[in-house]
Every structure is written in structure tokens, then in C-alpha cells.
């Protein structure tokens, strides 16, 4: 799985990320998180807010995620009423780029019938455990990266999954089997600032050092991001770009008062003698945008 850090920015994105959330930016969507496999090595969540629409960008960490995201928007472009409120992107490394598993889960106002009519699906309409899926062949622009067909699946009228077949089918399984969101994932994200516009988790040991190095190139203070349980941080767009990340916590940190204290932005709490600390690093918008351009050229 080739890794990149890039911004996702397009006129179409600005049109479809039309969330109505005006206050706190990142209340957890447990329904979406419940679809995420515990084996996912890279997970990112984005919520549409007035801030993200003005900024017009968020980070994508793998080429596969970027391709899935752009292709989903292209497939959905014919739906003028499309509105995406939240995104979750997942990736799991394989033996090669061709074997990597990845998906994008989107929630919002969707018209499955209109989107289904907008494209050509050479693999035809398929059914998996009663859920209709559509086979999508790689677009010409991305065939140098991968050649496998992907699946597009709709869960009701407000949730769509798009990605590699095994990844999409596992997420459908989790939905139909009533799986709950991974407790450790929920616990860790909950410790971040509730006003974050996006969050990012990297728990592949082989990738953490790479991502840590990239973040450190933005600001030396970000060299502390990462722990034995993975690299996790959130981003909030204000007058400056704020990165917040967990530096220490124990296995029982989900108990009060640690969780409540962290969510109130005190960034410190204790549970059973274990301490949680969430640090905030602020960088200027211009510096952040220059950093994005630099790492995108890597």
C-alpha cells in the first residue's frame, strides 16, 4: 500500500460536504464506526462543518483512499441533491499495492437510484446478503495503480460504501450482524477535541515512523505523536490549524472522570491511577498549506 499525504480539495467536494453542524464538529457517529474493521490499519474521519467548507481540504494518507474518494464523487456527480455529512476512510496493507484493502464510507442525503444510473457497471448488479452492490471498474486514470474492480453498496438512503470487494463485504457483514464499534477506537477518538473537523489513526507499526516524520516536518512539537497503540491525532480549523493528540493513557482510560475531563478540553484526567494527556499544537494556515504542497510532491 503506497502511502501519501495530500489534501483533498475540489469544487465538487465543496458542493457535497454540506453538513449542517454549526457547533461541535466531531460528535462520534457510532453507526459509521461500527462498520470499520478492527484490522483496518489506517482510519480517517471527516465531518462537514462551515470550517471544512471554507478550508476546502482535508488529509488523505494513501493513494487508494484518494482514488476511492475521487471516484465516489465522480460516480455521484449526477445527483444534484447529493449531500455528504461525514466520511470515514479505511485502508489495510496487503503484500503489494494490488492486494491492499481500502474503502470509503459516506453518510448524508443520497439518491441510490440516480447514482446507479449514472455510471457503467461492467461487473453488473450483484447481491450480497440481500444488499445490492454494483461492480465498478477502475477508471482509465488510475489503472497504473490498480486494476481490480471495486464494489459500490448502499445501506438505506443515507449510507454508501465504496471500495475493494472484500472490504465492502466485511463492512456489510458488520452492518447486518449488528457489530458494535471497536471499543478501543471509540475510546481513543473520544479523548480528542470534540470540535475537531477530522481525525486520523495509523496503527500499522511499519507506517507510524513514516507518518511521525511527516508530522515532525510540519512542527517539531508534533514529534510526540504516536504510542504503542498507534498514531492518533485530530485537526481543527480556526484562525490557526490546531493538531491535538494523545500522549499517554491507560487501558482503562474510558472510565470517568478521564473521558469527561478530556472532552471538556482540560486535556488531562486520571482513571485508576493512569493519566491521559492531550496536547495541542497550533500552526499558521500558510505554513500548513505549504507543508501540504511539499509532502504531496514526495
Kindly give the interhelix angle for 205-218 and 285-296, rounded to the nearest 10 degrees.
130
Of the CA atoms within 13 Å of residue 96, those in its CB half-sphere come to: 5
Q: Supply the mean pLDDT for the chain.
A: 75
Average pLDDT (87-95) is 81
pLDDT of residue 282: 93
Distance CA(34)–CA(11), nearest Å, equals 30
Section 58-86 average pLDDT: 79
Mean pLDDT value across residues 42-62: 69
- Cis peptide bond upstream of 257, omega within 30: yes
73 burial via Cβ count (<10 Å: 0-12, 13-18, 19+): buried
CA dihedral for 167, 170, 174, 179, sign (positive or negative): negative
| pLDDT, position 43 | 92
- Please answer whether residues 197 and 58 qualify as being in contact, where contact means their C-beta atoms are separated by less than 8 angstroms: yes
Helix residue ranges per DSSP H, the chain: 11-16, 30-33, 50-55, 63-76, 112-118, 165-176, 183-190, 205-218, 258-263, 285-296
Segment 102-160, tens digit of pLDDT: 999 999 887 776 676 666 565 577 889 999 898 888 887 887 777 788 999 988 778 99
pLDDT of residue 57: 58
What integer pLDDT is reported at residue 167 of this predicted model? Answer: 95
- What pLDDT score does 84 carry? 82
pTM for this prediction: 0.81
Please name which of 242, 236, 254, 243 lies closest in space to residue 188, comparing C-alpha atoms.
254
Amino acid at each position: 500500500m503506497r502511502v501519501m499525504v495530500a489534501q483533498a480539495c475540489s469544487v465538487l467536494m465543496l458542493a457535497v460536504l454540506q453538513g449542517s453542524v454549526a457547533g461541535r464538529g466531531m460528535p462520534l457517529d457510532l453507526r459509521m464506526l461500527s462498520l470499520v474493521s478492527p484490522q483496518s490499519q489506517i482510519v480517517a474521519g471527516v465531518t462537514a462543518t462551515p470550517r471544512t467548507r471554507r478550508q476546502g481540504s482535508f488529509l488523505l494518507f494513501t493513494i487508494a483512499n484518494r482514488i476511492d474518494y475521487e471516484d465516489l464523487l465522480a460516480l455521484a456527480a449526477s445527483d444534484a441533491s447529493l449531500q455528504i455529512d461525514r466520511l470515514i476512510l479505511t485502508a489495510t496493507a496487503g503484500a503489494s499495492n494490488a492486494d491492499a484493502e481500502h474503502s470509503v464510507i459516506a453518510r448524508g442525503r443520497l439518491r441510490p437510484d440516480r447514482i446507479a444510473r449514472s455510471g457503467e457497471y461492467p461487473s453488473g448488479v450483484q447481491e450480497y446478503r440481500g444488499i445490492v452492490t454494483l461492480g465498478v471498474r477502475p477508471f482509465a486514470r488510475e489503472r497504473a495503480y490498480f486494476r481490480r474492480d471495486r464494489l459500490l453498496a448502499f445501506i438505506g438512503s443515507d449510507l454508501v460504501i465504496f471500495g475493494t470487494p472484500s472490504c465492502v463485504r466485511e463492512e456489510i457483514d458488520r452492518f447486518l450482524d449488528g457489530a458494535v464499534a471497536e471499543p478501543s477506537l471509540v475510546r481513543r477518538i473520544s479523548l480528542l477535541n470534540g470540535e475537531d473537523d477530522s481525525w486520523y489513526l495509523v496503527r500499522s507499526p511499519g507506517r507510524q515512523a513514516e507518518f511521525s516524520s511527516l508530522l515532525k516536518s510540519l512542527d517539531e512539537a508534533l514529534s510526540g505523536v504516536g504510542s504503542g497503540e498507534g498514531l492518533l491525532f485530530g485537526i481543527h480549523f480556526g484562525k490557526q490549524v490546531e493538531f491535538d493528540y494523545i500522549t499517554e493513557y491507560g487501558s482503562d482510560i474510558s472510565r470517568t472522570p478521564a473521558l469527561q475531563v478530556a472532552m471538556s478540553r482540560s486535556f488531562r484526567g486520571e482513571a485508576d491511577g493512569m493519566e491521559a494527556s492531550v496536547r495541542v499544537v497550533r500552526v499558521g494556515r500558510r505554513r500548513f498549506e505549504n507543508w501540504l504542497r511539499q509532502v504531496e510532491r514526495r
